[in-house]
Chains A and B, each alone.
Chain A
Amino acid sequence: MSVLVYTESENGSFKKIAHEAVSYAKGIADAMGTTVTAVAVNAGDSSELGTYGASKVLEVSNDKLQNFNAEAYADVLAQAVKNEGAKVVVLTSSANSKFMAPLVAVNLEAGYVPNVTELPSSTEPFTVKHSVFTNKAFSNTEINTDTKVVGLAKNAYGIKENPTSASTEAFSPSLAEDDFSTEVVSVDKATDKVTIADAEIVVSAGRGMKGPENWGMIEELAETLGAATACSKPVSDMGWRPHGEHVGQTGKPVASNLYIAIGISGAIQHLAGINASKTKVVINNDPEAPFFKAADYGIVGDAFEVVPQLVEKLKAFKAANG
């Protein structure tokens, strides 16, 4: 009756969210007096998962699963759950996790709660806290089914080391033709850029930048910090920046450690989308901008003066602090 966790990898290495998911699964397993079994698909060496508390890793190696395919991956996971007799399945909030979670849940007749922010407050009945109303509130929800699926909110639990000796086992699920009736034709992904989903720091800018030609300093700031770039809804609507950068209620959610908002007034829809970020910094020339009420640190000033100064200061800081 172990806790089963899906560990996402890319090009043969585990993503940080995989480490966080295993850490979280270990927390649940401890509360239930059981162990963690991780499932890794085409991930290569998976021994590192023991560091975060996995006792066993089911390694799936299959060329057909080279591209993510929700139906097939959900099938793999469901078979692993049945094999292990797992009662709890831990997924994350990645695009792929959210894609397959409902398929896994229906397959296992399991209740599913996404965006979970803490360990269960009780495992009998199984009760979890999760964010709702786009981070404007939380709900304490009970899952009534025998098997439970939870999706951990990004950066909500953190990575916790819990060294355990992990045994690995090859796992060969039986895949049906049906699993591949949707097919990935091509993937378009900038590999040299930090993504908003993976970023620990996000630098975001809004209409205060006055035009797309002024984004050089935003990109430079992001590069200095190793951050992802993002933007407000009006900026993406006007085509100044690509849609993929739009963060907020109808755009991408952000749950980074540090979120720097430049020239963004802070409409309620924007704030909802970035609220799960831990530390928020606002740079805006309007002291009345609503964003200041939601921020931890702020500078009232002209972005065109402050941002270049900040870049310079950070470069010096990085040089001094390695």
Chain B
Amino acid sequence: MHSIFELYLVSLASLKFTQQNSSYMKILVCISHVPDTTSKINFTDGDTKFDTNGVQFVINPNDEFGLTRAMWFKEKQGAAVHVANVGGPETEPTLRKALAIGADEAIRVNTPATDGYSVAKQLAHVVKEGGYDLVIGGRESIDYNGGMVPGMVAKMIDANFVNTCISLEVEGESATAIREIDGGKETISTKLPLVVGGQKGLVEESDLRIPNMRGIMQARSKPLHVKEPVDATAETNTNTFEKPAPKGAVKLVDTVDELVDLLHNEAKVI
């Protein structure tokens, strides 16, 4: 007994399918390959290079929140999720980890990441070539804290841009984002193509995914394209690094009276 109801279900299903196709997003998540948050920071070669000795590299935490949000779009709304990084072959394990978390394809632009501008220029080229609707980067990388790549990419490809993004919804061509501002947040309405500088809030810490064995196995056979860089000259260059001067020992006091006295008379902060 094939009822009208069943036919209705079939037509609903096909409708859903076409809707998914029309809003099928191509997402690029920019992945920075950074030292783990617990790393000791040291420099070599006369303080001109970061000492990678014994350092574990990870996906930049701000980027990982973005990648996880991208996976949500893929699973709930249908989307292709690609990840890209600008760097040498040593960054590939980080891209493989992104693939193991669930990205479909990875792109590595084969050139060292020298400054924010040159990295943005490489990524802008990747975005143009790939025709991405949505580009998600982190609000900053935890190594050089530049916080400039997503904004620069947006400007270079003439896309809309939302920084310090803590919530993102996309429906068709329209996007609603919440941005963290000093002392609050604001809701922004905009359109694709869109670049966001993301952070915690896009998803919660507890939503982050640890790659499982199946994901890791699948990641091995997913495409990792190595692209040669376009011409881009760095606009800034680091001469030397230095570490903060060592801190004096803490002054321990027994009473709040002593503390208030020190804050007033010695530190002069109250």
Please report A residues at the B interface, Cβ cutoff 8 Å.
Answer: 67-68, 70-71, 94-96, 98-103, 105-107, 110-115, 127, 129, 131-145, 181-190, 193, 195-198, 200-201, 225, 233, 237, 243-244, 246, 249-251, 257-258, 268-269, 272, 275, 278-279, 281-282, 292-300, 306, 309-310, 313-314, 317, 321
Contact in complex: A314, B260 (CB < 8 Å): yes
Contact in complex: A144, B237 (CB < 8 Å): yes
Contact in complex: B235, A300 (CB < 8 Å): no
When the two chains form the complex, which single residue of A68, A71, A113, A237 contacts B236, counting CB atoms closer than 8 Å? Answer: A113
Q: Bound state CA distance, A135 and B243, in angstroms?
A: 9
Contact in complex: A310, B259 (CB < 8 Å): yes
**A71-B161, A102-B148, A299-B253 as given contacts; A258 in contact with B267, CB under 8 Å:** yes
Contact in complex: B41, A98 (CB < 8 Å): no
Contact in complex: A292, B250 (CB < 8 Å): yes
In the complex, chain B residues 76-99 whose Cβ is within 8 Å of any chain A Cβ:
none
Chain B proximity of A275: nearest CB distance (Å) = 8
The main secondary structure of chain B at its interface with chain A is mixed
Contact in complex: B182, A95 (CB < 8 Å): yes
B contact residues, range: 35 or more
In the complex, chain B residues 111-150 whose Cβ is within 8 Å of any chain A Cβ:
115-117, 120, 142-150
**A141-B239, A243-B200, A249-B37 as given contacts; A299 in contact with B252, CB under 8 Å:** yes
Chain B residue at smallest Cβ distance from A228: B183
Q: Bound state CA distance, A145 and B239, in angstroms?
A: 16
B38, B182, B257 — which one has the most chain A CB atoms within 10 A of its CB? B182
Chain B proximity of A261: nearest CB distance (Å) = 12
Kindly state whether residue B2 has any CB partner on chain A within 8 Å.
no
**A95-B180, A181-B191 as given contacts; A187 in contact with B186, CB under 8 Å:** yes
Complex interface: chain A residues within 8 A of B120 (CB)? 102, 106
Contact in complex: B237, A142 (CB < 8 Å): yes
Contact in complex: A111, B145 (CB < 8 Å): no
**A244-B180, A297-B253 as given contacts; A181 in contact with B270, CB under 8 Å:** no
Complex interface: chain B residues within 8 A of A298 (CB)? 250-253
When the two chains form the complex, which single residue of A103, A186, A257, A272 contacts B154, counting CB atoms closer than 8 Å? Answer: A103
Contact in complex: A244, B184 (CB < 8 Å): yes
Chain A proximity of B142: nearest CB distance (Å) = 6
Chain B proximity of A152: nearest CB distance (Å) = 14
Contact in complex: A313, B256 (CB < 8 Å): yes
A139, A186, A275, A317 — which one has the most chain B CB atoms within 10 A of its CB? A139
Q: Bound state CA distance, A144 and B232, in angstroms?
A: 13
Q: Encode contact with A along B239-250: 1 for CB under 8 Å, 0 otherwise.
A: 111111001101
